[in-house]
Amino acid sequence: MEIQALGYLVFGADKLEDWTDFATTRLGMQAVDRGAGLRAFRMDDRRQRLVADASLPAGSRCYGWEVADAAALDALAGRLDHAGIAVEHGSAALAGRRCVAGLIAFADPAGNRLEAFHGAQIADAPFRPGRMISGFRCGPLGMGHALMATTDMARGLAFYRDLLGFGVSDYMRAPVQAYFLHVNARHHSLALVEAPMDGLHHLMVELYSLDDVGQGYDLALADGGERIAATLGRHCNDLMTSFYQRTPGDFLVEYGWGGSTVDPANWVPTEMDAVESYWGHHGLMRAIGAPEPPPADRRPGGGCCARRSRSWTATTAACRAPARGGMRRRRRRRSRPGAAGRRGGRARPGRSRAEHPCRTPPGRRDRRHGTHGSEGRSCTHPTS
């Protein structure tokens, strides 16, 4: 697979000043003036990641997908051409505007403009965030992920999974079709959700600190009730803690922390039962045109959370099981004289030294024992 990451997003915008204020003071990006009608924003050492272009029609998008080098770009162009996909080789002027060494452009089945590029330019100066944040989780994971609505899931999957080589992390077939696709260790760089229209629903950017997300949530609350499209919550597939906010444009931004990673070489896709979160994200279902689920569906053990709650149960059981080799459960009598006699001579069972009382779910921190291992693993705490 040639594609390695989502490198940049270019979109049409007629409110450049509003976008500058939003991207810097709300998201913490660094604004870069590229001249009249163009505003770029940095997230890391790259010269640009997010680009608002007033010369493009409102609602237009351009998704920049990164490849390793010129040879990988040529190989991708040849594969697309062999599949009957029209490929445009970008000019030097366009490459200059995108701050890359070379690129090609083509369209997906829904008509979204895609650009594959190599040789992203590195800025001369360090990244200076628009507000005090720890930074964005980019690097080899790319700038984040995009969730796109599609009216034809079969064609979308055939294009992204079968032709471009994206891997499937999770998928759902009912009550709505959705596929979460990866190109690197990020759980998904692209999500496809079947809907009555084609287009970008949201862009996700991930922070290095939960405090960055919490402070961003406070800023969004201060803007008024219309800013927040979905409240703070935690997804049950990629485990992202995030909230969704409206932008000066027609798509949302998911602002998150703590997303899980995958091993692309060995990952086995999992079917989800539902898209509800472990908690929070109230309003998200309305934002995608679906009714809000009842609270019971969001509890671990219901919906898409069922598979993770089963692993929590298995891990907890393993933590509380006797140590290897087994030890007989000791019985101890109450120290008060005659206590056992009043209970008919039956002693109260005590806890074996080989047992572990831990009930902390994987990944959580317990003040007595520290942090558990990854999900599905047995607890390694000492039992004596």
Identify whether 65 is part of a domain: yes
Q: Binning pLDDT at 50, 70 and 90, where does residue 364 land?
A: very low
pLDDT tens digits along 322-345 = 333 333 333 444 444 444 444 444
Number of domains in the chain: 1
At a CB cut-off of 8 Å and minimum separation 6, what does 85 contact?
A: 106, 107, 163
Identify whether 279 is part of a domain: yes
pLDDT at 72 over 60: yes
CATH number at residue 54: 3.10.180.10
How far is Cα 309 from Cα 330, in angstroms, rounded to an integer? 32
Q: What is the mean pLDDT of the chain?
A: 82
Identify whether 344 is part of a domain: no
**Domain extent for 178:** 5-299
Identify whether 187 is part of a domain: yes
Identify whether 162 is part of a domain: yes
pLDDT at 351 over 80: no
Residue with tokens 């409102």: 58
pLDDT the model gives residue 297: 52
Identify whether 315 is part of a domain: no
Task: Pick from 222-226, 255-259, 333-337 the range whose average pLDDT is largest.
Answer: 255-259
pLDDT at 287 over 90: no
Residue with tokens 């509380």: 320
Residues in the chain: 384
pLDDT the model gives residue 357: 37
- Dihedrals phi, psi of 117, to nearest 5 degrees: -140, 165
Task: Round to the nearest angstrom and report the end-to-end CA distance of the chain.
Answer: 49
Q: Binning pLDDT at 50, 70 and 90, where does residue 263 land?
A: very high
pLDDT at 127 over 50: yes
Asked if 257 and 210 count as a contact pair (C-beta separation under 8 A), the reply is: yes
Question: Using DSSP, how many helices (H) and how many strands (E) does the chain show?
Answer: 8, 22
Q: Which residue has the higher pLDDT, 298 or 1?
A: 1
Burial degree of 270 (CB within 10 A; 0-12, 13-18, 19+): middle
Burial degree of 126 (CB within 10 A; 0-12, 13-18, 19+): exposed
Identify whether 153 is part of a domain: yes
pLDDT tens digits along 138-147 = 999 999 999 9
- What does DSSP assign to residue 331? E
Identify whether 189 is part of a domain: yes
